[in-house]
């Protein structure tokens, strides 16, 4: 780490490369996309990249060749490539937790050698994948039976954050590849309603709970898992001995798994160098593997690996994660963009943006640099969005005509999924026509003169004018396959990495989630016990607002 360029050295906004971008922005920041396309009619093909199965169009961005060159110089000056190489080498680049960051090892081929503290981790990765495969095959074959001897048919993943969003998102994304005769549910919220709705119509004798938690200390997950165990044992009128057939664990913490009562023979392991939000291609993906089968799961891993290799080796000019990362830095720093929309035109990607929220916002929602100094530049954006075309009839209005500047990614597929009901595939062109039309409208808008030419009354002209100039990336692939999903996720993982490297923040810790956890623990007894309402667990005075809210809650509950 000591050779990292930015550590302890010049701050991002003191770099000459930063100043050069600022000056460049003053010169070209007002240039419109209409002007850029008029100046270069080949922009549509020139500003595009192919990575694996992904076609990535970045022509509708407010950049010129010079902007891109300056941004790449910034990446060079901030040591993005050096930090990337350090990550792939297994160095402890997560400095605040003193950990390596090696989600890329989870999809490395069997013969690869990646060392952490002198030990090659790849054999262990594949050993777990093999165990997962054997288990998934058993469940899929109806050979994994419950306590009463019935084959398991319902799989309920209990986890939260990275131990939920990844498998839940990928299950949804790859639904057409899943075993439709098995039922999959994902429980995350500590609100009992979540587990209630997940199990109320299930036969416990046919239900397998997968308790997914990296730490196995997360209160929501342990609470839900305990309730699930109580439900199962009560319903089956069985004792502790039934647990082994109905509960498996995905974790890095064997001790806690055992403490919970799950036999470590039924535990699928991963490692502290896998961050929660980077973990669904680890053992955390077991529910997905059962759903789509080990072969499809491995295809997905190959998709991830393909983009890992691209990120590691492609020259800066053609490096897609680098490009996407730099574009976000450009808009955050010089256009004051506060948010970034991700708008998939696939219903199967309905959880994709929620997944990216954790990936991006938990990684780059930081305000001190790697040396603990406050940053005085924008870091991670608010990531948001839902699948098209639904958003078009809801919040796109604000993107088109509001006062906010919202760069957006549009993700679409040339083909509908294979198993749609007869006739429904014909709707795909309509979906995609919307997909193309939206980025067109966002980029080029409609001028007042164009509105007038349509005979619109003068007083309505300002209302019907579209300012345009809203930048978008379009990502197009032939179909949403397991490999393509892996490629997409790796693309975003590395984009987030690039931005964190440039902003000089630790993208791999998440201290910001801790305070709320601690306070919830202190407040809980005040809600449930006959305790002085104004005081927390330790007898400390609660702040006025919280004390009043607790009093209102207790009164509503008759306590």
Active site residues: 362, 393, 517
Using CB under 6 A, pick the residue from 162, 204, 468, 500 that binds ligand G6P. Answer: 162
Shortest reach from residue 252's CB to ligand G6P, in Å: 8
Cα separation, 104 vs 85, in Å, equals 12
The number of C-alpha atoms within 13 Å of 478 and in the hemisphere containing its C-beta is 8
Shortest reach from residue 220's CB to ligand G6P, in Å: 8
Query: Which residues in the 129-158 window bind ligand G6P by CB under 6 A?
Result: none
Helix intervals (H) in 113-181 = 122-140, 165-173
Q: If binding is defined by CB under 6 A, does position 207 make contact with ligand G6P?
A: no
CB under 6 A: which stretch of 208-216, 470-478, 496-504, 550-558 binds ligand G6P? 208-216
DSSP assignment, residue 420?
A: P
- Applying CB under 6 A, the site for ligand G6P has a residue count of 14
Q: If binding is defined by CB under 6 A, does position 276 make contact with ligand G6P?
A: yes
Cα separation, 219 vs 486, in Å, equals 30
Shortest reach from residue 105's CB to ligand G6P, in Å: 18
CB under 6 A: which stretch of 13-21, 159-167, 336-344, 437-445 binds ligand G6P? 159-167
Shortest reach from residue 254's CB to ligand G6P, in Å: 14
Q: What does the DSSP assignment read for 26-58?
A: HHHTT--HHHHHHH-TTHHHHSEEEETTEEEE-
Antiparallel, parallel or unpaired: β 207-212 and 339-344: unpaired
In whole angstroms, how far apart are CA 182 and each of 106, 281, 294? 27, 21, 15
CB-nearer residue toward ligand G6P: 64 or 218: 218
Cα separation, 45 vs 26, in Å, equals 27
Shortest reach from residue 251's CB to ligand G6P, in Å: 8
The residues with which 51 forms a beta bridge, in sequence order, are 54
Shortest reach from residue 70's CB to ligand G6P, in Å: 34
Using CB under 6 A, pick the residue from 64, 154, 163, 319 that binds ligand G6P. Answer: 163
Please classify residue 109 by burial: count the beta carbons closer than 10 Å to its beta carbon, then call 0-12 exposed, 13-18 middle and 19+ buried: exposed
Using CB under 6 A, pick the residue from 4, 21, 105, 160 that binds ligand G6P. Answer: 160
Distance of CA 144 to the CA centre of its chain: 31
CB-nearer residue toward ligand G6P: 67 or 279: 279
φ/ψ of 426, rounded to 5, equals -65, -20
Coil/strand/helix, residue 325: helix
Shortest reach from residue 338's CB to ligand G6P, in Å: 22
CB under 6 A: which stretch of 172-180, 214-222, 266-274, 409-417 binds ligand G6P? 214-222
Using CB under 6 A, pick the residue from 218, 465, 469, 473 that binds ligand G6P. Answer: 218
CB under 6 A: which stretch of 178-186, 207-215, 323-331, 408-416 binds ligand G6P? 207-215
CB-nearer residue toward ligand G6P: 165 or 205: 165
Helix intervals (H) in 293-319 = 294-313
The number of C-alpha atoms within 13 Å of 34 and in the hemisphere containing its C-beta is 11
Asked whether the beta carbons of 452 and 461 are under 8 A apart, the reply is yes
Q: Kindly state the tokens that stand for 264.
A: 């470590």
The residues with which 425 forms a beta bridge, in sequence order, are none
CB-nearer residue toward ligand G6P: 213 or 438: 213
CB-nearer residue toward ligand G6P: 245 or 277: 277
Using CB under 6 A, pick the residue from 153, 214, 246, 351 that binds ligand G6P. Answer: 214
Q: If binding is defined by CB under 6 A, does position 285 make contact with ligand G6P?
A: no
Write the interaction track for ligand G6P spanning residues 337-366; mark x where CB under 6 A is met and - where it is not.
-------------------------x----
Query: Which residues in the 500-519 window bind ligand G6P by CB under 6 A?
Result: 510, 513
The number of C-alpha atoms within 13 Å of 261 and in the hemisphere containing its C-beta is 16
**Exposure class string for 348-357: b at 16+ Cβ within 10 A, else e:** bbbbbbbbbb
Shortest reach from residue 358's CB to ligand G6P, in Å: 7
Asked whether the beta carbons of 104 and 87 are under 8 A apart, the reply is yes
Residues interacting with ligand G6P, by CB under 6 A? 160-163, 213-215, 218, 221, 276-277, 362, 510, 513
């Amino acid at each position: 780490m000591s050779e990292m360029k930015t550590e302890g050295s010049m701050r991002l906004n003191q770099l000459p490369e930063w100043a050069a971008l600022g000056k460049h922005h003053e010169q070209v920041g007002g240039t419109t996309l209409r002007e850029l396309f008029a100046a270069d009619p080949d922009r549509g093909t020139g500003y595009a990249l192919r990575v694996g199965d992904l076609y990535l169009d970045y022509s509708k961005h407010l950049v010129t060749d010079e902007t891109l060159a300056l941004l790449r110089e910034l990446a060079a000056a901030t040591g993005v490539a050096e930090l990337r190489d350090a990550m792939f080498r297994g160095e402890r680049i997560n400095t605040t937790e003193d950990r390596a960051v090696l989600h890329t090892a989870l999809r490395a081929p069997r013969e690869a050698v990646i060392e952490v503290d002198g030990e090659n981790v790849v054999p262990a990765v594949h050993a777990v994948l093999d165990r997962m495969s054997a288990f998934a095959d058993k469940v899929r074959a109806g050979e994994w039976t419950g306590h009463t001897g019935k084959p398991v048919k319902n799989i309920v993943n209990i986890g939260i954050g990275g131990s939920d969003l990844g498998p839940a998102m990928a299950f949804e994304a790859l639904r057409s590849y899943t075993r439709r005769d098995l039922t999959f549910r994902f429980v995350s919220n500590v609100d009992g309603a979540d587990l209630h709705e997940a199990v109320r119509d299930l036969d416990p004798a046919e239900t397998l709970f997968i308790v997914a938690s990296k730490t196995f200390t997360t209160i929501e997950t342990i609470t839900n898992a305990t309730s699930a165990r109580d439900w199962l044992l009560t319903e089956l009128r069985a004792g502790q001995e039934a647990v082994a057939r109905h509960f498996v664990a995905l974790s890095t913490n064997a001790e806690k798994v055992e403490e919970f009562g799950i036999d470590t023979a039924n535990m699928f392991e991963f490692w502290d160098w896998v961050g929660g939000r980077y973990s669904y291609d680890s053992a955390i993906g077991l529910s997905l593997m059962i759903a789509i089968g080990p072969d499809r799961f491995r295809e997905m891993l190959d998709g991830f690996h393909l983009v890992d290799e691209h990120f590691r080796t492609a020259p800066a000019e053609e490096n897609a994660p680098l490009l996407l990362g730099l574009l976000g830095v450009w808009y955050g720093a010089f256009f004051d963009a506060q948010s970034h929309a991700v708008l998939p035109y696939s219903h199967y990607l309905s959880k994709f943006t929620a997944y990216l929220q954790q990936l991006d916002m938990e990684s780059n929602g930081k305000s001190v640099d790697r040396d603990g100094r406050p940053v005085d530049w924008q870091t991670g954006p608010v990531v948001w969005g839902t699948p098209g075309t639904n958003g078009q009839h809801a919040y796109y209005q604000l993107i088109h005509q509001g006062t906010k500047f919202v760069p957006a990614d549009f993700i679409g597929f040339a083909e509908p999924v294979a198993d749609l009901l007869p006739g429904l595939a014909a709707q795909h062109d309509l979906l995609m026509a919307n997909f193309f039309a939206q980025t067109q409208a966002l980029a080029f808008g409609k001028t007042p003169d164009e509105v007038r030419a349509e005979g619109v009354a003068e007083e309505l002209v300002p209302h019907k004018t579209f300012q345009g100039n809203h930048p978008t990336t379009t990502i197009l692939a032939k179909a949403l396959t397991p490999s393509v999903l892996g490629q997409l996720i790796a693309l975003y993982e590395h984009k987030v990495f690039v931005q964190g490297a440039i902003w000089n923040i630790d993208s791999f810790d998440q201290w910001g989630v801790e305070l709320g956890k601690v306070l919830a623990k202190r407040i809980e007894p005040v809600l449930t016990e006959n305790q002085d309402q104004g005081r927390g667990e330790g007898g400390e005075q609660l702040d006025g607002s919280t004390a009043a809210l607790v009093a209102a809650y207790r009164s509503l509950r008759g306590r």
